Amino acid sequence: MIVVGIESSAHTFGVGVVTDNEENFILADERVQYIPKHGGIHPRESSRFLAEKAPQILKNAFAKSSLNPLNIDAVAVALGPGLGPCLRVGATIARTLSAYLNKPLVPVNHAVAHVEIGLKLTGLKDPVTVYLSGGNTAIIAYLDKRYRVFGETLDIALGNLLDTFAREAGLGPPYVVGGLHVVDRCAEEGKKILPDFPYVVKGQDIAFSGLLTTALRALKRGVDLNDICLTLREIAYNSVLEVSARCLMHTRKKEIMLVGGVAASPILKDKFIEMAKIYNASIGVVPPQYAVDNGVMIAWTGLLGFKAGLSIDLKSAIVKQRWRIDEVDILWR
């Protein structure tokens, strides 16, 4: 079975082609990323960029896979969560491709796709999943045909925290250089943890907006930037570590997995490796290439869904900007 997957939830337009051949399941992985010249991602500008680049990326993917498009079995597309204008680019192309080739269309939840590609690449079976990205921070565990959210951010995501501070401090964009976030890189020169920075864990949930505000105020007062980055990083990472450890104990699972763009941070990875040792748990971290948004994860999750009987008609393929991971039935597990 061969499935084409289309991802366009934020700043990346990706096309992946996968097969259920266990030895070499990725046939193509093509992508392009929108990087704003200044400020954060503007949905309209990003969607225009993705729409301009999409035809060539799709063409490249079919060329790389050496496939005749008529020989694919289904088209999968990320319909949410994400930025509405960006999601609509992928949805429009997927509907067109499905109609033109007369192939089934498979809806994919972007967050579920991060988890599923993680399971595929790490080989873990039933982990506590720590999903960290620019728009999401959640601690997830599987139970009774759904991924349940054990804890999550109450305001902004971890990736948003890091990127926003980096932008305001003049550290980026780009925010990731050589696989290391610019805040991580800046923190390496820090010498002390600053007092009076809020560490907010409420039950199983976490919050970062107060931490961001305090860091920005310290920046305006002329406090050493390296010390601010070190304090910001340690508090943010350790709060995620705390609720993740609590989830391990609560669920009694013996595996923990990091997915999402922030999972590419080697600093965060090292912290989780040490935590896993304490709780005698196996740990898996998605390779950096597939921790970020990509079409392969959409294609793979679409393949799993399609084999379980999942598909929709074109009229039902509408985007869902706030489509939560715990609203999705996991038919293939």
> Which pLDDT band holds residue 134 (cuts at 50, 70, 90)?
confident
pLDDT digits (tens, 9 = 90+) for 292-319: 999 999 999 999 999 999 999 999 999 9
The structure's pTM equals 0.94
Is 110 annotated as belonging to a binding site? yes
81 pLDDT more than 90:
yes
Q: Which range in 10-24, 25-39, 95-109 is most confidently predicted, on average pLDDT? A: 95-109
Is 163 annotated as belonging to a binding site? yes
C-alpha span between 53 and 34 (Å, rounded): 10
pLDDT digits (tens, 9 = 90+) for 248-295: 999 999 999 999 988 888 999 999 999 999 999 999 999 989 999 999
Is 114 annotated as belonging to a binding site? yes
Per DSSP, what are the bridge partners of residue 312? 105
Do residues 298 and 9 lie in contact, with contact meaning Cβ atoms separated by under 8 Å?
Answer: no
Is 293 annotated as belonging to a binding site? yes
The pLDDT of residue 86 is: 97
Residue 20: closest CA among 244, 300, 263, 230: 300
Share of the chain above pLDDT 90, in %: 89
Q: Which of 35-44, 230-239, 257-266 has the lowest mean pLDDT?
A: 35-44
243 pLDDT more than 90:
yes
173 pLDDT more than 90:
no
Is 144 annotated as belonging to a binding site? no
Is 134 annotated as belonging to a binding site? yes
pLDDT digits (tens, 9 = 90+) for 155-170: 999 999 999 999 999 9
57 pLDDT more than 90:
yes
The pLDDT of residue 176 is: 79
Is 265 annotated as belonging to a binding site? yes
The pLDDT of residue 206 is: 96
Is 42 annotated as belonging to a binding site? no
pLDDT digits (tens, 9 = 90+) for 86-95: 999 999 999 9
**The CATH fold of domain 2-114+293-327:** Nucleotidyltransferase; domain 5 (3.30.420)
Every domain of the chain with CATH number 3.30.420.40 lies at 2-114+293-327, 123-290
What is the overall mean pLDDT for the chain?
Answer: 94
The pLDDT of residue 40 is: 73
The pLDDT of residue 263 is: 84
Domain formed by 123-290, architecture: 2-Layer Sandwich (3.30)
